Amino acid sequence: MNISPDRDSLYHEYSGRVAAYIGSRVSSREDAEDLCQEVFMKVYSSAESYDCSKAGVSTWIFTITRNTVIDYLRSKKETSELPEELADESTLTDRTFEALADAVSGLPREQRDIIVLRYYNGLTLKDIAALMGISYGMVKLRHKNALDFLKASLAK
């Protein structure tokens, strides 16, 4: 099923999110602004072929934004390697994103802290132990318990 989303409403609703995402990945403000424009050029040019039965509008625009950032990082060689989360194709569906976000938010604080520090900040478990002032063994145990809880939450 195809729809042609209105350009103005798309820009109005998503430009802030696109800019925020690009800004979190690209250090040059000027390049980030250019990339933001590039994303919307791609969005407008592919709007006719957008299939809403395959992905929500948000997922579609996120995918275009993410791929634009990956192409930029590769061309600029800003980093020797792409961040792990950008290295592979995204497999997170809208439903999984919501379910996993809710599950992480529902973790006990001591486990949630570890998940955020590990997967948002990219710290190692040893770094997290030092930062939290607890033993590495305790961090490993809480990390494992959190992953088990999250797996069980998604399986429901």
Partner 1 sequence: MEKLLRELFDRQRFEGHGALAKAVDDVQSRYFGGGLELSEEELDLVSAAGEPASVGIRLNEDKKK
Q: Where do contacts with partner 1 occur on this chain (CB under 8 A)?
A: 17-18, 20-21, 24-25, 58, 62, 65-66, 83-86, 88, 90-92, 96-98, 100-102, 104-105, 112-113, 115-121, 131-132, 147, 150-151
CA 131 to each of CA 21, 89, 127, 141, 155: distance values in angstroms, whole numbers, following the listed order: 27, 31, 6, 16, 32
Closest distance of CB 53 from partner 1, Å: 20
Closest distance of CB 151 from partner 1, Å: 6
Closest distance of CB 90 from partner 1, Å: 5
- CA–CA separation, 108 and 142 (whole Å): 10
In terms of CB distance, is 50 or 107 closer to partner 1? Answer: 107
CA 7 to each of CA 37, 48, 77: distance values in angstroms, whole numbers, following the listed order: 13, 11, 32
